[in-house]
Amino acid sequence: MDVRTVADLSPAERRALFERDAGVDGVREDVREIVERVREEGDVAVREFAEEFDGVAVGNVDITDDATRAHEELADADDPVLDAVREAAANVREFHDRQRPEDWRDDFGGRELGRRFRPIDRVGVYVPGGAAAYPSSALMGIIPAVVAGVDHVAVATPPAAELNPVTLAAIHEAGADAVYQVGGAQAISALAYGTETVTRVQKIVGPGNKWVTAAKSIVQGDVEIDFLAGPSEVLVLADDTADPDLVAADLVAQAEHDPNASVVAVTDDAALADAVADAVDAQAAEREREETIRAALDNEASGVLHARSMPEAVLFAEEYAAEHLSIVADDDEALLDRITNAGSVFLGPYSPVAAGDYAAGTNHVLPTNGGAKRYGGLSVDTFLRSSTVQRLDRDALDDLSETITSLAKAEGLEAHAESVRKRFE
Binding site for ligand NAD (CB under 6 A): 53-54, 128-132, 134, 137, 158, 183-185, 207-209, 211-212, 229-232, 257-258, 261, 323, 364-366, 368
Which residue from 31, 357, 363, 372 is in contact with Zn ion, where contact means CB under 5 A? 357
Alpha-carbon distances, residue 392 vs 9, 250, 356, 420 (angstroms): 59, 56, 46, 12
Residue nearer to ligand HSO on the CB measure, 189 or 283: 283
- Whole-angstrom Cα distance, residue 348 to residue 327? 6
Radius of gyration of the chain from its Cα atoms, rounded to whole angstroms: 25
Sketch the per residue contact string, 206 through 235, with ligand HSO: x for CB under 6 A, - otherwise: --------------------------x---
163 binds, among Zn ion, ligand NAD, ligand HSO, none (CB under 5 to 8 A by kind): none
Residue 136 binding ligand HSO, by CB under 6 A: yes
Please pick, among 40, 323, 364, 418, the residue that the annotation labels catalytic: 323
> Is residue 318 a contact partner of residue 17, using CB atoms and an 8 Å limit?
no
Least Å distance, CB 209 to Zn ion, is 13
- Whole-angstrom Cα distance, residue 144 to residue 176? 11
290 annotated to a ligand binding site = no
> Is residue 386 a contact partner of residue 114, using CB atoms and an 8 Å limit?
no
Residue 269 binding Zn ion, by CB under 5 A: no
- Whole-angstrom Cα distance, residue 356 to residue 46? 33
Please pick, among 71, 306, 324, 364, the residue that the annotation labels catalytic: 324
Give residues 75-134 in contact with ligand HSO (rule: CB under 6 A): 134
Residue nearer to Zn ion on the CB measure, 35 or 174: 174
Residue nearer to ligand NAD on the CB measure, 139 or 279: 139
In the residue annotation, 162 being an active-site residue is answered as no
Least Å distance, CB 402 to Zn ion, is 59
Strands (E), 130-219: 152-157, 178-181, 203-205
Least Å distance, CB 407 to ligand HSO, is 47
Beta bridge partners of 117: 386
- Whole-angstrom Cα distance, residue 137 to residue 220? 21
Q: Which of 29, 241, 22, 229 is nearest to 134 (CA)?
A: 229
Least Å distance, CB 159 to ligand NAD, is 7
- Burial label for 281, CB within 10 Å (0-12, 13-18, 19+), is middle
Q: Which of 359, 303, 305, 310 is nearest to 339 (CA)?
A: 310
Residue nearer to Zn ion on the CB measure, 42 or 207: 207
In the residue annotation, 318 being an active-site residue is answered as no
326 annotated to a ligand binding site = no
Which residue from 49, 54, 67, 137 is in contact with ligand HSO, where contact means CB under 6 A? 137
Least Å distance, CB 140 to ligand HSO, is 8
Q: Which of 210, 213, 209, 211 is nearest to 228 (CA)?
A: 213
Give residues 345-364 in contact with ligand HSO (rule: CB under 6 A): 357, 364
Q: Which of 284, 248, 287, 278 is nearest to 265 (CA)?
A: 248
- Whole-angstrom Cα distance, residue 291 to residue 284? 9
- Dihedral (CA of 295, 300, 302, 303) sign: positive
Residue nearer to ligand HSO on the CB measure, 82 or 296: 296
Residue 323 binding Zn ion, by CB under 5 A: no
217 annotated to a ligand binding site = no
Applying CB under 6 A, the residues found at the interface with ligand HSO are 134, 136-137, 232, 254, 257, 357, 364, 366
Binding-site residues for substrate sit at 232, 254, 257, 324, 357, 411, 416
Report, as residue numbers or ranges, the catalytic residues.
323-324
Annotated binding site: 126, 186, 209, 232, 254, 257, 324, 357, 411, 416
